[in-house]
Amino acid sequence: MRMVDLIEKKRDGGSLSKKEIRFIIEGYVQGDIPDYQMAAWAMAVIFRGMSLEETSELTLAMAQSGDQLDLSSLGGRFVDKHSTGGVGDKTTLLLGPMVAACGVPVAKMSGRGLGHTGGTIDKLSSVPGFRVELTQEEFLAQVKKIGLSIIAQTGNLVPADKKLYALRDVTATVSSIPLIASSVMSKKIAAGAQGIVLDVKYGSGAFMKTVEEARMLATTMVEIGKALGRQTIAVLSNMNQPLGRAVGNSLEILEVADALQGKGPQDLVEVSLELGAWMLVAGEVVSNVVSGKERLRQSLASGAAWDKFLAFLTAQGGDAQAVADRRLRVAPWNLPILAESTGYVQAFDAHKIGILAMALGAGRVTKDSPIDLGAGVVLVKKAREWVVAGEPLLQLYASNQEMLAEGRKFAQNLAVVGSEAPELLPLIEEVIL
């Protein structure tokens, strides 16, 4: 078999067989297929697409390209969750303790932020002492003991995705539904999930800008899950403005602490309850999403979810007391951005807020660039809220004056204020089973 023939076949709209897909993935991981051929193939996929059979086989070949976690020692059904990425998206940190407190173990591998989107592992790194890397034995032992562990992706899990994603990132081949779907699903399958709950975001701050695109991606992932025998549930959620008010790592941990103590921003809580309830359904501890939400609300009201969060931080070496006492480092230079007129905030573009947070130092420009865990933005007002001229709309946090000045440039004219309250799209658009 020759890679050049397979590129040509896809370029001309043909379907690749299982054997051919295995040849591509194995050859690429082993270094037999060079980047330039893989990039040409990925571009052919961008234009020609892949059938469901091809996409499922690609997912499986990628999932099997490295180590796979065996979670059978945890007993019961193991459910995982994945978000396609957003701004201020801290749902994992809120729903993880709630779901674990309701008896479904959460053993989760999460990512770091890239570009304008944040990552759970960066947020957790803002807790002093917190270890994002555990051995597989430590990870499983912690899940057995307290029902919750969140770690960075370990060494050799889905090397095909690591290599292919980095290549796609620099060859304009990210935005293909079969390539995104196989990238996401291969990681969940290699991490041992029997049930998978996907938060597929759409809107300005998301990868998929329209509901239609998000629906297509979600349907593809649910179908792959079915084809590979994993129950998969996709929730389409709105990312036109950030979730909650805090964007930036330590700022977001403090917001999660508030939410777990019943003082959460309503939108963050609503999305977390929806996703968490589906995790309880997939984990077979409740029969429907209404009872799931009720159980999760009880875990908040009783303090069980907050206790679980503190136990989780402590188990991974983090200073839970510092979180409880709100002693996390927040960048010392801050500046309010004031409203120039009185009225209703019309919109806060999530993508632009993500870029602003990056300018303040909270995000990475490249995979390895440094990050300021204390920097970020707080949305003092959100869309549909009333603001009086001269009141703060945003509060910026940076570690030095230069970055604050840089952020200020991005922050000007970010919010439009008008006399009518805008209609907001629903937070949860649809659930695809």
Q: Which residues of 60-72 are buried (b: 16+ CB within 10 A; e: fewer)?
A: bbbbbbbeebebe
Distance between CA 290 and CA 38 in Å, rounded?
46
Alpha-carbon gap, residue 189 to 56, rounded angstroms: 11
Segment near ligand URA (CB under 6 A), from 7-15, 140-148, 176-184, 232-240? 176-184
The secondary structure of 54-83 as a DSSP string is HHHHHHHHHHTTSB----GGG-S--EEEEE
Any catalytic annotation for residue 168?
yes
250 is catalytic: no
Backbone angles phi, psi at 133, to 5 degrees: -115, 120
Catalytic residue (one of 10, 187, 293, 382): 187
d(CA 201, CA 234): 10
Residue choice 91, 142, 149, 183 for contact with ligand URA (CB under 6 A): 183
CB 183 within 8 A of CB 218: no
Asked if residue 308 lies in contact with residue 147, where contact means CB atoms within 8 angstroms, the answer is: yes
Contact code string over 191-230 relative to ligand URA, x by CB under 6 A: ----------------x-----------------------
Interface stretch with ligand URA, choices 58-66, 175-183, 245-253, 384-392 (CB under 6 A): 175-183
| Active-site option among 10, 22, 81, 82 | 82
The residues facing 107 across adjacent strands are 149
**Is position 82 annotated as part of the catalytic site?**
yes
Among 45, 62, 152, 180, binds ligand URA (CB under 6 A): 180
CB of 83 to ligand URA, least distance (A): 9
Residue nearer to ligand URA on the CB measure, 125 or 183: 183
Nearer to ligand URA, 117 or 240 (CB): 117
Q: Shortest Cβ distance from residue 311 to ligand URA (Å)?
A: 29
Comparing CB distances to ligand URA, the nearer of 110 and 142 is 110
Are the CB atoms for 238 and 202 separated by under 8 Å? yes
> Least CB distance from residue 176 to ligand URA, whole Å?
8
CA–CA dist 416, 11 (Å, integer): 45
Judged by CB under 6 A, the number of residues near ligand URA is 9
- Among residues 161, 199, 267, 372, the one annotated as catalytic is 161
Q: Which of 55, 84, 241, 395 binds ligand URA (CB under 6 A)?
A: 84
Question: Which of residues 174 and 304 has its CB atom nearest to ligand URA in the complex?
Answer: 174
* Burial label, 17 (beta-carbon count in 10 A; 0-12, 13-18, 19+): middle
- 83 among known catalytic residues: no
In this complex, which beta carbon is closest to ligand URA, that of residue 183 or of residue 399? 183
Residues 6+ apart with CB under 8 A from 329: 126, 250, 373, 374
Whole-number minimum distance, CB 174 to ligand URA, in Å?
6
Q: Please, which residues bridge with residue 198 across strands? A: 82, 234
Residue nearest to ligand URA (CB): 183
Q: Does residue 184 belong to the site contacting ligand URA (CB under 6 A)?
A: yes
Amino acid at 253: I
**Which residues contact ligand URA (rule: CB under 6 A)?**
84-85, 165, 174, 179-180, 183-184, 207
The residues carrying an active-site annotation are 82, 161, 168, 183, 187
